With several copies, the nearest count.
Chain A
Amino acid sequence: MKVSIIGASGYTGGELLRLLVNHPEVTLDRITSESNAGSFVHMIHPNLRGFNIKFSSIKESFDSDLVFFCLPHGVSMDYLREFYDTGVKIIDLGADLRLKDKDVYKSWYGLDHKCPELLEKAVYGIPEIHREEIKKTKLVANPGCIATSMIMALYPLRHLNIDKERIVIDSKIGSSASGDSFSASSHHPERSRAIRCYSPIYHRHIAEVEQETGFKVTMAPHAIEMVRGIFTTIYLFLNQPYDEKEIRGIYRDFSENNKFFRVVKQKKGIYRHPDPKILTGSNFCEVGFELDRENRRMIVFSAIDNLMKGAAGAAVQNMNIMYGLEEDTGLKYIGYHPI
């Protein structure tokens, strides 16, 4: 199928392009970037040297079956309706279609939604939850990266008797999650080795967790010494005692139905809990846990590559599902060890 990427000069667009150039079923149509139109992609994404792909402009003609939107939130909205009306399939990696309720959207993003009628048409792009709907839709809202790491860990526990009002989440985030625009705070001497909490409590991805799991969470993201990767630590209060086998069983069943979901809780080896370090470039989400039976508490760990399962990898996974392909087509990436 012929696909285009709108806004391909950013990290998400670049990662998506890396996946698409080696995807067996895909031929590329337009790879747009207004500021770089006419220039070679590898001047921005050096890992794509040798492919000789050029950026084009969104104003040029399209001949695509599916279009990926990798535009900042608020900008996507300007083009979504125009493209949707042409009948083309769309996967929006931005935030404009993630929240079903335009008032909730306004409260988190401070913008009036320009195409609210698309909100209930869009399917939230976590296949592990919405696989059947994704098969039938023409419009997918790719989830936020931190949201993905939280939802993948919490959703399988939705039937447990836990205090759904008191969930504490402490997330550690790689610098690539804030995109390629640089600032004083991203200047190497200031950013290197920092442990910097940013937008605690009011991080936008929280809204997606509540929408998808019904859990009310408090979350604080911390930028740490990492480029790719999200490591999320979730603190749960249980209303009744559970034992390890029960919890592990729940997660194991979930992994049996979802090939990109892995349970990691080992007694041996260096990597006994999930670790984004070894997931780099792969589409896996690894979840583990530690149970404090007496005090009825549990800690759950969740690790992903924010540019893969948290963005481009999930987008290709959604595309595969929309076209009835094997879900891991063009996504058979294994992490590297050591890295």
Chain B
Amino acid sequence: MAECPECSCIIEIENPEVGDIVECSECGIELEIISLDPLILEIAPEEEEDWGE
């Protein structure tokens, strides 16, 4: 379990590995696992999605 740095939702991660990209179930942001013990997530660099408006 770890906290999403963007929206502080608690995220369950099955067999996490450093460098894995996981997605927050509440805000949908992509997160990178940067350490296992303690389990820390950082917002993964992703291009700002074009809203098309």
Chain A residues packing against B (C-beta within 8 Å): 38-40, 42-43, 52, 244-245, 248-249, 252, 263, 265-269, 272
Contacts and interface: CB of A to CB of B under 8 A. Distances in A.
Given A38-B22, A43-B23, A245 B29 contact: no
Most chain A beta-carbon contacts within 10 A, residue among B8, B9, B21, B25: B25
Contacts of A38: 21-23
A268 B49 contact: yes
Interface string B11-40: 000000000011101111110000000000
B29 A268 contact: yes
Contacts of B23: 38-40, 43, 268
A43 B22 contact: no
12 contacts: A40-B25, A43-B28, A245-B7, A245-B8, A265-B26, A265-B27, A267-B6, A267-B27, A267-B49, A268-B30, A268-B49, A269-B28
Contacts of A42: 25
Contacts of B29: 267-268
Given A38-B23, A43-B23, A268-B49, A248 B8 contact: yes
A40 B28 contact: yes
B11 to A, nearest CB: 10
B7 A265 contact: yes
Nearest to A272: B28
Given A245-B7, A265-B26, 18 more contacts: A38-B22, A43-B28, A52-B25, A244-B7, A245-B8, A249-B8, A252-B26, A265-B27, A266-B27, A266-B28, A267-B6, A267-B29, A267-B49, A268-B27, A268-B28, A268-B29, A269-B28, A272-B28
Nearest to B9: A252
A244 B7 CA distance: 8
Nearest to B22: A38
A94 B22 CA distance: 31
B21 to A, nearest CB: 7
Contacts of B6: 267
Pairs A-B, 4 closest by C-beta atoms:
A268-B28, A266-B28, A267-B29, A245-B8
Contacts of A39: 23
A267 B8 CA distance: 14
A263 B28 contact: no
A256 B32 CA distance: 27
A306 to B, nearest CB: 25
A263 B49 contact: no
A76 to B, nearest CB: 28
A333 B24 CA distance: 25
A267 B28 contact: yes
A273 to B, nearest CB: 11
Contacts of B26: 252, 263, 265-266
Contacts of B30: 268
Nearest to A52: B25
A320 B29 CA distance: 37
A157 to B, nearest CB: 17
Contacts of A249: 8
Contacts of A268: 23, 27-30, 49
A52 B29 CA distance: 15
Contacts of A267: 6, 27-29, 49
A269 B22 CA distance: 16
Nearest to A246: B8
A184 to B, nearest CB: 13
Contact of B7 (A40, A43, A248, A272): A248
